Amino acid sequence: MAKLTYQQLDRCSAFAKLREMPAVQVCNELDPDRIARYELPAGGGLTFNYAARPVNERIIEGLNQLCAEQELREQFQALHEGAVMNVGEQRMVLHHLVRGRLGSDVFVNGRSQRDFYVEQQERAAVFAHGVRAGSIKGSTGKQFQTVVQIGIGGSDLGPRALYLALKRYCEAHAPSELDEEADSPSPSSSSRSPDPTLEARFISNVDPDDAAAVLAGLDPERTLFILVSKSGTTQETLTNEHLAIDWMKRNGPRSIRPRKHMVCVTAEGSPLAASDEYLDAFFIDDYIGGRYSGTSAVGGALLSLAFGPEAFSQVLEGAHEADKAATAPFAENAAMIDAAIGVYERNVLGYPSTAVLPYSQALERFPAHLQQLDMESNGKRVDREGTPVRYPTGPLVFGEPGTNGQHSFYQLLHQGTDIVPLQFIGFRRNQSSLDIEVQGSTSREKLNANLAAQVVAFAAGKADDDANKHFPGNRPGSLIYGEELNPRSLGALLAHFENKVMFQGFLWNINSFDQEGVQLGKVLTKQLLGGGERSALLAAYADILGV
Amino acid sequence: MAKLTYQQLDRCSAFAKLREMPAVQVCNELDPDRIARYELPAGGGLTFNYAARPVNERIIEGLNQLCAEQELREQFQALHEGAVMNVGEQRMVLHHLVRGRLGSDVFVNGRSQRDFYVEQQERAAVFAHGVRAGSIKGSTGKQFQTVVQIGIGGSDLGPRALYLALKRYCEAHAPSELDEEADSPSPSSSSRSPDPTLEARFISNVDPDDAAAVLAGLDPERTLFILVSKSGTTQETLTNEHLAIDWMKRNGPRSIRPRKHMVCVTAEGSPLAASDEYLDAFFIDDYIGGRYSGTSAVGGALLSLAFGPEAFSQVLEGAHEADKAATAPFAENAAMIDAAIGVYERNVLGYPSTAVLPYSQALERFPAHLQQLDMESNGKRVDREGTPVRYPTGPLVFGEPGTNGQHSFYQLLHQGTDIVPLQFIGFRRNQSSLDIEVQGSTSREKLNANLAAQVVAFAAGKADDDANKHFPGNRPGSLIYGEELNPRSLGALLAHFENKVMFQGFLWNINSFDQEGVQLGKVLTKQLLGGGERSALLAAYADILGV
């Protein structure tokens, strides 16, 4: 493979040209023809529509040239073929490989990485089948009813967002193999009918009130914990492991053996992996970053247990479809166009933030996951060689589901003094069968009518002589939509954003795969807790807070 | 009262002077003496510390003059004495009156507004006592176990944030009157010990998958709904009322009378109030805006039912303490100083966003409430007379609890290219009794050590020859802290931010109490659902989304 160039964004001639081009007023450009033309498949049955983004053919061609100049396709190819793209930590970046091979396989010390990831998936699948069928039980012989994932950051936000996104769908659409399991005798005393899903909960915060709330009402004998920490040293996760063990001892029978209610997801060489006290362990490695680990065993163990391995396989399939779509030439590459327009909005138009607005309550925590994915990946001030950049990089990302957000922060989005580019997500069908027609339309129709209305309202605005009722419009928005939110489309949605963030990192020439910014806080916390010398500033704040 | 001036921010001579003053580098200013001096009581046992904000004595004095020039104390006095401060809608702004009298009472058509609000609180208290004691039952004679609030925006975010904030506390600290109730015989078949709290859930989104998930597993005969809509016409809430009725009919016995499982919180003249089919109704009025209604019956009915009226009274007490603190002269007024520094950060330093970072898992949805409170109040581009402003107004607000955020978006906050001012919140004690010492410190100590470490890390930074490990520092942060998060301190915390947002609106000379920006979307949605003519743009997006 040819050597890649790697240069800062403002060295690109295409970037200079883009800055010279007149900006587009979305409100003047948007028409039905453009809505039909400005869209592309994004994998997993999803379509990416960018008709309401502030671009035209000329700007798009400029972005095409920019992506060529920054060698985005070549960088992505290098990445999935095992180049050390995480230069700061000198690591490969292999999260695409957990969901299928894009090119050739990658080998480490003679071992196929693809085989390693598949092996972990298969081991987690066998384990999940055993737990779900009742052949793997708690230490006092009772079937597991609840899975509690203990993890933080990437070990929490992605898995949690995915779990919530699929809970209703998997309850309503049990695949045939899950149906069989649901017929197996259940020792549960619950009066509810057998449920093909296992309830999942999450403990993340080191605040002990988090664990207290999550554990309240659970039966220790029927609870399975998944400890997720790649390093096996994460303060929050190890502390919460002890809390959970203590809780089991105090609330379970004397015979309970707490670590036999725990499986680990960790690196092979970690302290957690070294212990044989746990019920089982599934492995990840240094080539899967936390915020990119939703499709690895970090998300896989939980989703396989909660919904069955079949559902998790479909997530991987959808993600792989989106990955394949991201290898296409610019003109057919939804993730690359999405990324390039985002950089245009950030670095040419100067918009400092972007909102994620899923019109699906099941995606209630998906914006929180994207917030980590994007801000931790691209919130960087130096390029991949460590030289400070002279331009803004990753934007602030936030969001809540629609229609809820409409009754909250949309006021500022419509009529505030700053423009915030919007990323809408929608589906034609809902997940549950619950719906009702009120005043001539169903809830689903109301939801999507609101979504269509908002995209148009933001882009087109509305003139009014009363300045307080005037909508300036020209607020850009894209729309990713699909038939329904199911495991496959969810996997594609996740991977689309992962790939978009990766492409933006390539455009900015930053390393999207390390996170040195989290270190200083850890060091200072250790100083405080270690009992040694503490700086006067630390001591003053610690005193205030009773530490 | 003397006539107030009302002028745009950039007309103030103090503002011009502030723009001339050299900016402060927090990293150079912060020392233990300053940490001790730059703090003020904020009511409810809370303390507001602004030592790590980018100000010095000179800038503070400039802000004092600015607040005097914009007549903040006089405007607040006018507001709580019944001036029409919501000029767009020609309404008074009386949310302070629901929690106690700051000055004289306000009368409407001869009726004391204070008496009206107290009457509604007392009626809700009597009702809550009845439900909790079992004297008010469901239509089939069974005691209520779960309360489901159906509301959106201000009828959801505030009440939900408050409920989650107090759930653990009220479970662990039942007041004596609640203890008595807990001893009363419970017809519940649950094997758990009698619980002085009633479980609450929330339905907000028009997406029917929201209601499906919330209602799953509930017993219609034991479920009480609170319908909250001031106008009685909110699309989402009325639709979800029908979904809930349908669900009760399909899952309950034939004899169930669904509307006898429902109480309304609404304006006296609304369509909801006109019906006598409901179990009961509690009233609000046009002088309490949705996002300011957490301490009115909108939050009060739910909190009184869930935790007992006594706990809600303490929330009101704490809020009233913060309100009183907000009437003080500038130098002793935490909310006013917080507001003024925020405007300085926004309009002099040019920071477009701010993060809310509570180090308390119980405050997990408090940032989402503040997001509405702030962005819907101050996301305005015209002044109170309707003239466009020439300066930025309300910032973008987002946040998640610490330590979770540390493993998510803090990377960008520490090392991104933009500076984001930070609003930390912390408490010396936790709410539950669950805690454990691991490696020499408890979880609570770890939590607060992390908080202290982050405030210092953001402000002071850390030099490093490796630019990728360099922390520029100078990231401003304030800290609001208290002994514990309980009903009183929570009420004060809520009111502190309400008053801060109000003062910022006064400084920008905007109307923080209307929300015309939500109207256009509603109009276009109606066009789509009404079956009449739809614009070509609307039709194109509606077609994509299957509407």
Domain residue extents for chain A: 9-101+316-514, 107-314, 515-547
**Pairwise CA distance, residues A278 & A402, whole Å:** 42
Give yes or no for a contact between A444 and B248, defined as CB atoms under 8 angstroms apart.
no
Does the N-terminal peptide bond of residue A327 adopt cis geometry, omega within 30 degrees of 0?
no
> For chain B, what is the mean pLDDT?
94
pLDDT at residue B44 is higher than 50: yes
**Pairwise CA distance, residues A282 & B298, whole Å:** 48
B351, B427, B437, B456: best to mutate for the A interface, most A CBs within 10 A: B456
**Pairwise CA distance, residues B20 & A413, whole Å:** 31
Residue A411 sits at the chain B interface (C-beta within 8 Å) = yes
Mean pLDDT, rounded, for A267-279 = 93
A9-101+316-514 against A107-314: fold identical: yes
Q: Residue B173's pLDDT is what?
A: 84
Strand order in the sheet with A262-267: A199-203, A146-150, A223-228, A262-267, A280-284
Q: Residue B172's pLDDT is what?
A: 87
Known catalytic residue: A137?
A: no
Residue A283 CB burial class (10 angstroms; 0-12, 13-18, ≥19): buried
Mean pLDDT, rounded, for B227-250 = 96
Q: Which residues from B are below 8 Å from A167, CB to CB?
A: 213
Inter-chain touch A528–B455, beta carbons under 8 Å: no
Q: What percent of chain B has pLDDT over 90?
A: 92
The distance of A42 to chain B (nearest Cα, Å) reads 15
DSSP string, B500-524: HHHHHHHHHT--TT--GGGHHHHHH
Q: Residue B182's pLDDT is what?
A: 39
Q: Which residues from B are below 8 Å from A420, CB to CB?
A: 396
Between A367 and A172, the more confident residue is A367
Residue B85 sits at the chain A interface (C-beta within 8 Å) = no
> What is the number of other CB atoms lying within 10 angstroms of the CB of residue A236?
28
DSSP state of B330: G
Q: Which region holds residue B159: left if phi is over 0, alpha if psi is between -120 and 50, else beta? A: alpha
Known catalytic residue: B268?
A: no
Which of B412, B516, B538 is facing A453, going by the closest CB pair?
Answer: B538
Q: What is the 3-state secondary structure (H, E, C) of A9-23?
A: HHHCHHHHHHHHCCC
Q: What percent of chain A has pLDDT over 70?
A: 95
**Pairwise CA distance, residues B285 & A235, whole Å:** 49
Between A532 and A265, the more confident residue is A265
**CB burial readout A152-161, b (16+ within 10 A) else e:** bbbbbbbbbb
Inter-chain touch A436–B352, beta carbons under 8 Å: no
Q: Residue A188's pLDDT is what?
A: 38
pLDDT at residue B96 is higher than 80: yes
Where helices occur in B21-110 by DSSP H, the ranges are 26-29, 32-37, 57-69, 72-80
Give yes or no for a contact between B316 and B456, defined as CB atoms under 8 angstroms apart.
no
Inter-chain touch B376–A212, beta carbons under 8 Å: no
Pseudo-torsion of CA B400, B403, B409, B415, nearest 10°? 140
Q: Residue B196's pLDDT is what?
A: 61
The CATH architecture one would assign to domain B9-101+315-514 is 3-Layer(aba) Sandwich (3.40)
Give yes or no for a contact between B42 and B67, defined as CB atoms under 8 angstroms apart.
no
Q: Residue A531's pLDDT is what?
A: 79
For the whole model, what pTM was predicted? 0.96
Known catalytic residue: B376?
A: yes
Q: Count CA atoms within 13 Å of residue B58 on its CB side.
A: 9
Pick the CATH number of A9-101+316-514 from 3.30.420.10, 3.40.50.10490, 3.40.50.2000, 3.40.50.970: 3.40.50.10490
**Pairwise CA distance, residues A196 & B122, whole Å:** 46
Give yes or no for a contact between A458 and A403, defined as CB atoms under 8 angstroms apart.
no
Residue B378 sits at the chain A interface (C-beta within 8 Å) = yes
Express each pLDDT in B49-76 by its tens digit.
999 999 999 999 999 999 999 999 999 9
**Pairwise CA distance, residues A118 & A337, whole Å:** 31
Tell which A residues from 473 to 532 touch B, by Cβ distance under 8 Å: 479, 481, 511, 514-525, 527-529, 531
Inter-chain touch A412–B157, beta carbons under 8 Å: no
Helix axes A235-251, A208-215, angle to 10 degrees: 40
**Pairwise CA distance, residues A434 & A443, whole Å:** 9
Q: How confident is the model at residue A534 (pLDDT cuts 50, 70, 90)?
A: confident
The distance of A427 to chain B (nearest Cα, Å) reads 7
- What phi and psi values does residue B240 have, to the nearest 5 degrees? -70, -25
The CATH architecture one would assign to domain B108-184+192-314 is 3-Layer(aba) Sandwich (3.40)
Q: Which residue has the tokens 């009404």?
A: B530
Token pair of A52 as six digits: 């309401």
Express each pLDDT in B254-303 by its tens digit.
999 999 999 999 999 999 998 999 999 999 999 999 999 999 999 999 99
Q: How far is CA A426 from CA A285, A292, A395, in A?
A: 34, 23, 23
Q: Residue A175's pLDDT is what?
A: 54
Catalytic residue among A242, A407, A462, A469: A407
Give yes or no for a contact between A51 and A30, defined as CB atoms under 8 angstroms apart.
yes
Q: How far is CA B38 from CA A125, A265, B23, B283, in A?
A: 56, 45, 18, 42
pLDDT at residue B512 is higher than 90: yes
Closest residue by Cα to residue B96 from B320, B402, B338, B369: B320
Token pair of B251 as six digits: 């899952």
Q: Which residues from A are below 8 Å from B246, CB to CB?
A: 436
Provide ipTM, 2 decimals: 0.95
What's A107-314's CATH class? alpha beta
pLDDT at residue A193 is higher than 70: no
Q: Which residues from B are below 8 Å from A247, CB to CB?
A: 434
The SS3 call for residue A336 is: helix
pLDDT at residue B438 is higher than 80: yes
> Which of A12-21, A151-160, A192-201, B118-127 shows the lowest mean pLDDT across its residues?
A192-201
The SS3 call for residue A518 is: helix
> What is the number of other CB atoms lying within 10 angstroms of the CB of residue A84?
13
Q: How confident is the model at residue B533 (pLDDT cuts 50, 70, 90)?
A: confident
pLDDT at residue A181 is higher than 80: no
Helix axes B309-325, B113-133, angle to 10 degrees: 150
pLDDT at residue A179 is higher than 50: no
Token pair of B515 as six digits: 């929300």
> What is the number of other CB atoms lying within 10 angstroms of the CB of residue B94?
24
Distant-in-sequence, close-in-space partners of B294: CB < 8 Å, separation ≥ 6 = B154, B158, B159, B161, B162, B369, B494
Does the N-terminal peptide bond of residue A403 adopt cis geometry, omega within 30 degrees of 0?
yes
Measured over the CA atoms of residue A10, residue A16, residue A18 and residue A19, the dihedral's sign is: positive
Token pair of A3 as six digits: 């050597």
Q: Which residues from A are below 8 Å from B87, CB to CB?
A: none
Residue A274 sits at the chain B interface (C-beta within 8 Å) = no
How close are the terminal C-alpha atoms of chain B, in Å?
55
Inter-chain touch A379–B88, beta carbons under 8 Å: no
Q: How confident is the model at residue A335 (pLDDT cuts 50, 70, 90)?
A: very high
Mean pLDDT, rounded, for A29-43 = 97
**Pairwise CA distance, residues A81 & A79, whole Å:** 5
List of E strands, B83-237: 107-108, 111-112, 146-150, 199-203, 223-228
Give yes or no for a contact between A335 and A73, defined as CB atoms under 8 angstroms apart.
no
Express each pLDDT in A53-110 by its tens digit.
999 999 999 999 999 999 999 999 999 999 999 999 999 999 999 999 998 899 999 9
Closest residue by Cα to residue A9 from A275, A348, A252, A323: A348
DSSP state of B136: S
Angle at B79 between CA B78 and CA B84, to 5 degrees: 95
Give yes or no for a contact between A266 and A272, defined as CB atoms under 8 angstroms apart.
yes
The distance of B112 to chain A (nearest Cα, Å) reads 30
pLDDT at residue A362 is higher than 70: yes
Helix axes B443-460, A519-530, angle to 10 degrees: 130
Mean pLDDT, rounded, for A421-443 = 95
Q: Residue B1's pLDDT is what?
A: 58
Which of A35, A360, A442 is facing B209, going by the closest CB pair?
Answer: A360
Residue A468 sits at the chain B interface (C-beta within 8 Å) = yes
> Which of A55-64, A498-507, B148-157, B183-192 shows the lowest mean pLDDT across its residues?
B183-192
Q: B543: nearest CA in chain A?
A: A452
> Which of A178-187, B12-21, B119-128, B214-223 shows the lowest mean pLDDT across its residues?
A178-187
Residue B404 sits at the chain A interface (C-beta within 8 Å) = yes
DSSP string, B449-466: HHHHHHHHHHHH-B--SS
Q: Residue B166's pLDDT is what?
A: 97
Residues in chain B: 547
Q: Residue B2's pLDDT is what?
A: 67
